[in-house]
Amino acid sequence: MRTGVATTFRRGLRSARTWIALGVVAPLGMVAVCAALLIDMRRDAWDKAARTSWNLLQVIERDVDRNVEIIDLALQSVVENLKIYDLEELKPHFRQRVLFDRAVNAKDLGAMLVLDEYGNALYDAAGWPARRLNGGDRDYFRAHKADPDLGLHISRPVISQLIGKPVIVLSRRVAMADGSFNGIVLGSLSLSYFNRMFDRIRLGPGGTIALFLADGTRILRHPEPTR
């Protein structure tokens, strides 16, 4: 009789241990499942944010490319119109329209100027007479003077002589009839133009985005590192 009671007790004990074990393992399993679900949810949220940022970055890239193209077309138009033989005979307001009419289509275009072979401002989209400045010592001016086949040149960031703020300068060579150097036409683009666009991208804590020229020169980093 005692043996039967003992056997029954041991069986009950094993059953209780089993339920206790299941009671411990089951919550742990639920925690593991919940953790896996949370990881998947975070991964999905991260992937979605990454896709959204990438798509927005592509939109910004197209916007920048298009704006550079518009500015370049305006520069080319000025170069061609400078060839008009009686340009100096035109009334100033009409000459301004002939030279700079296409400049109004560019976003955030700062100055647009024609510099003579010495770097002095000759024509200015802002009005007549041109504002006084000399860009003969600038790298972009020297680059065009040295290379007649340079084409469109995009400068490193420089401080504008007119507004005292960082800009990049897009420029093209102006040539005489015999091909000799006769100055440049330039258009400036404020770096704030890029910063406003990059503000639209959610970078997250510690995230940065940078803009580089084809030669690896960094134009800007957003946001700027804190000092």
pLDDT of 186 reads 97
Nearest CA to 211 out of 227, 187, 195, 190 is that of 195
pLDDT of 141 reads 97
Q: Is 192 helix (H, G, I), strand (E, B) or coil?
A: helix
Place of tokens 């094993």: 14
Contact 139, 155 (CB under 8 A): yes
Q: Is 126 helix (H, G, I), strand (E, B) or coil?
A: coil
Does this model's pTM top 0.75? no
pLDDT of 201 reads 72
Looking from the CA of 199 toward its CB, the CA atoms found within 13 Å total 7
pLDDT of 146 reads 96
For domain 64-193, the CATH architecture is: 2-Layer Sandwich (3.30)
pLDDT of 134 reads 96
Which comes out higher in pLDDT, residue 133 or 85? 133
186-217 per-position pLDDT tens digit: 999 988 888 887 777 776 677 777 777 777 77
pLDDT of 204 reads 67
Domain boundaries, the chain: 64-193
Q: Residue 50 above 70 pLDDT? A: no
Q: What mean pLDDT, rounded, does the chain reach?
A: 79
9-22 per-position pLDDT tens digit: 444 444 544 444 44
Which comes out higher in pLDDT, residue 24 or 125? 125
Q: Residue 25 above 50 pLDDT? A: no
127-147 per-position pLDDT tens digit: 999 999 999 999 999 999 999
| Interior angle at CA 61, CA 56 and CA 62, nearest 5 | 100
Q: Long-range contacts made by residues 50-56, C-beta under 8 angstroms, separation at least 24?
A: 52/202, 53/201, 53/202, 53/203, 56/200, 56/201
Q: Report cis status (omega within 30 of 0) of the bond before 166.
A: no
Provide, rounded to the nearest whole percent, the portion of the chain with pLDDT above 90: 36
